[in-house]
Each structure stands twice: as C-alpha cells, then as structure tokens.
Amino acid sequence: MRRYAVLPLALLLAGGTLALAVVAVAVGSAAIDPPLVGRIVLHALLPGTIGADWPAGAERIVLELRLPRVVLGILTGAGLAVVGVVLQAVTRNPLADPYLFGVSAGASVGAVAVIAHLGAFAGPFTLPVAAFLGALASLVLTLSVAAGAGGRPARDRLVLAGVAVSFVLMALTNFLIFSGDQRAAHSMLFWTMGGLGLAQWRLLAWPLAVVAAALVLAMLAARRLDALALGDQAAASLGIDVARLRLGLFALCALVTGTLVALAGAIGFVGLMVPHAVRALAGGRHALLLPLAALAGACLLTAVDILARILLAPQELPIGIITGAIGGVFFVLMMRLGRI
C-alpha cells in the first residue's frame, strides 16, 4: 500500500472501532438504541447539554456496565496487537505472539495463584504484579528452552518452545484452579478463556497507562525495530545495543501482557493475526505498523466481544473461544498462501 493510503486506512479503522463500540454498548440482554447510547454518553461528558429524559437504569447499564467493558476491550486488543508487532520484530519470527510464546499462560499462572491461593498481598496492584511476574518468567523460560545447547534461540525453535511451555503452564493454571476454592473454580476457568466481565472504571487506569506507554515507547524504538527485523548484525552495524534493546522490549511485552491478562484473561491469536494483516496492507515500517496495528486490534476485539454476547444470548461465550477459532483459520490460510 502506498503511503498516501495509510491515512484513509487509519481513519477507517478508527471509525470502525467507534461504530463497533456504540454497537457493543447497545447490544445485550437489555437492548438500548444506539442514538440513546450517544445521548447518554454525551450527557455524561458534557453535563447540561441535553436533558436526561431516559430511565436511570439505562444510564447505569451504559455508563457503569457496558462502557467500561468496551474500553477494556479496546485497550486489550490494541495492547496485544502492539505486543505481537514488537515480538515479531525482536525475534524475527512471523509466528511470534504472546499466546503462542507462553507469555499469556505465564500471566494466567500468576493471576490464578493470587485469586485462588495467595490473596491480595500487595493491595490493588497484586493481580497485575503477579501476572507480570508470571509473564516475564514464562518468556524467559521459553527463550531458555529455545536456546538449547547453542546458547541463542533459533527462530524455528521459538514457537515450539513457546507451545511446550504454554501447555505446561496451562496445566499448572488448571491445577491451581481446581485445588483452590471450588465455588470460584467455574468463574476462574471462564476468566482464563478470556472475557471482559471484570471491567470497572476504577480498574482501567492501570491498563490505559501501560498500553499508552508501551505504544509510545515502541514508536520511539520504531527505527531500531526496523533494524532488528533485518537481523542482529544489521542492527549492530547501526550502533544499536541489540542485547539491551531486546531485553527491554521483552520486559515491556511481559508488562503489557501481564496487565491485560490480569483483567481480561488469556486471549489468543490477536497478536499473531493483526500484525500480519496490517503489514500486508501498510508495509513493514514500524512507525506506521504500530499505530495501525493498535487500531486494528482494538477494532477486532470490539467486534469479537459483540459476537461473544450475541452468539449464545443470553449466555456469554468466552472471547478466547472466538479468537482461537478465527486464529486457527487465519493460521491455516497463511500456511496455504506460503506466508509462514
């Protein structure tokens, strides 16, 4: 895609995300007309501009239940997409993804250990801290397993190591769930498959700050990511401290993944699909790829959240089931096209 087409693509993704957000707030067990959704949100943002001639229950549903959920979905989709872009550049592996690399599974172990056994030992930051530590530990473990006897991870071994680590950590997560309070086992198992039901305004400041900071830092490192994508020698020839940069970006990916998993559970394949799709449209320059991927991830997860609430209404599907199904089809399609 030529550069002049990038702005229309960005506007299309932003507009699509906004439209899907309105639909996501409107649909549910108690349907609310989209125009009414807009009026309620406008009244909340600019009090006194319009009269509040709607039931108090509708306002509560929009502002306290559904809107925080939509915001969390947007942040989660954007954050996972950015992590996928960064991991694929840092590892030079087109299959890099926080889910396939075991990062999400490690974050789930940390979060479930807190929920089921340890309790809030660090106050409100306990869950994200535990998820971050689990994500970081799993990423280190995956890289160590992939390195083998050679000392450096081979590209073709990274995904195999990630899948192996993922299975072990998923088994550990399930053990922690079923060895804990059985009354909470079902809700924790649902959460591990991905969901936005925990969204509350008081909990959104942390993921907002982390995702925004990650996007800014990744954008600042865009040229270095371009160089890394060409190989370590090319990056080193440009004066880049490859080991230090890679370590910092891995820690950043673990922080974002751990934060999002702590609130939304393990949602797979967003970080794999979105970078590939956007790269095919806008090219591989990370200065363009990163913000477009963030918009596309937000748009995708908002659409998936709508599907999760209407496919088996009034029952809600875990989001991870839908992203897993879409990701599997995407994976097969990419293989058939020879892209991976």
Region 147-159: mean pLDDT is 63
For the 69-336 domain, the top CATH level (class) is mainly alpha
Specify the higher pLDDT residue, 56 or 66: 66
Is 90 exceeded by the pLDDT of residue 43?
no
CB under 8 Å to 110, separation ≥6 — which residues?
A: 130, 131, 132, 133, 134, 135, 137, 258
Q: Over the stretch 247-272, which tens digit does the pLDDT of each residue have?
A: 899 889 888 998 898 888 889 889 99
Q: At 68, list the tokens.
A: 């925080």
Can you give the pLDDT at residue 1? 46
Q: Over the stretch 65-80, which tens digit does the pLDDT of each residue have?
A: 899 999 999 999 999 9
Specify the higher pLDDT residue, 75 or 114: 75
Q: Are the CB atoms for 145 and 161 separated by under 8 Å? A: yes
Considering the chain, what is the average pLDDT of its residues?
86
Q: At 77, list the tokens.
A: 């989709």
Per-domain boundaries in the chain: 69-336
* Cα(332)–Cα(273) distance, integer angstroms: 11
Can you give the pLDDT at residue 189? 75
SS (H, E, C) the chain: CCHHHHHHHHHHHHHHHHHHHHHHHHCCCCCCCHHHHHHHHHHHHCCCCCCCCCCHHHHHHHHHHHHHHHHHHHHHHHHHHHHHHHHHHHHCCCCCCCCCCCHHHHHHHHHHHHHHHHCCCCHHHHHHHHHHHHHHHHHHHHHHHHHCCCCCCCHHHHHHHHHHHHHHHHHHHHHHHHCCCHHHHHHHHHHHCCCCCCCCHHHCHHHHHHHHHHHHHHHHCHHHHHHHHHCHHHHHHCCCCHHHHHHHHHHHHHHHHHHHHHHHCCCCCHHHHHHHHHHHHHCCCHHHHHHHHHHHHHHHHHHHHHHHHHCCCCCCCCHHHHHHHHHHHHHHHHHHCCCC
Please choose, from the candidates 307, 300, 276, the residue with its C-alpha nearest in 3D space to the C-alpha of residue 75: 300
Q: Over the stretch 301-327, which tens digit does the pLDDT of each residue have?
A: 999 999 998 888 788 888 989 998 998
Can you give the pLDDT at residue 227? 92
* Cα(322)–Cα(193) distance, integer angstroms: 10
* Cα(3)–Cα(277) distance, integer angstroms: 16
Is 70 exceeded by the pLDDT of residue 154?
no
Is 50 exceeded by the pLDDT of residue 204?
yes
Specify the higher pLDDT residue, 195 or 338: 195
Identity at 149, one-letter amino acid code: A
Region 183-195: mean pLDDT is 75
* Cα(107)–Cα(109) distance, integer angstroms: 5
Specify the higher pLDDT residue, 170 or 119: 170
Specify the higher pLDDT residue, 122 or 192: 192
Is 80 exceeded by the pLDDT of residue 182?
no
Specify the higher pLDDT residue, 305 or 118: 305
Is 70 exceeded by the pLDDT of residue 169?
yes
Can you give the pLDDT at residue 265? 86
Query: pLDDT band at residue 120, thresholds of 50, 70 and 90?
Result: low
Range from 57-61, 213-217, 330-334 carrying the lowest mean pLDDT:
330-334
Query: pLDDT band at residue 274, thresholds of 50, 70 and 90?
Result: very high
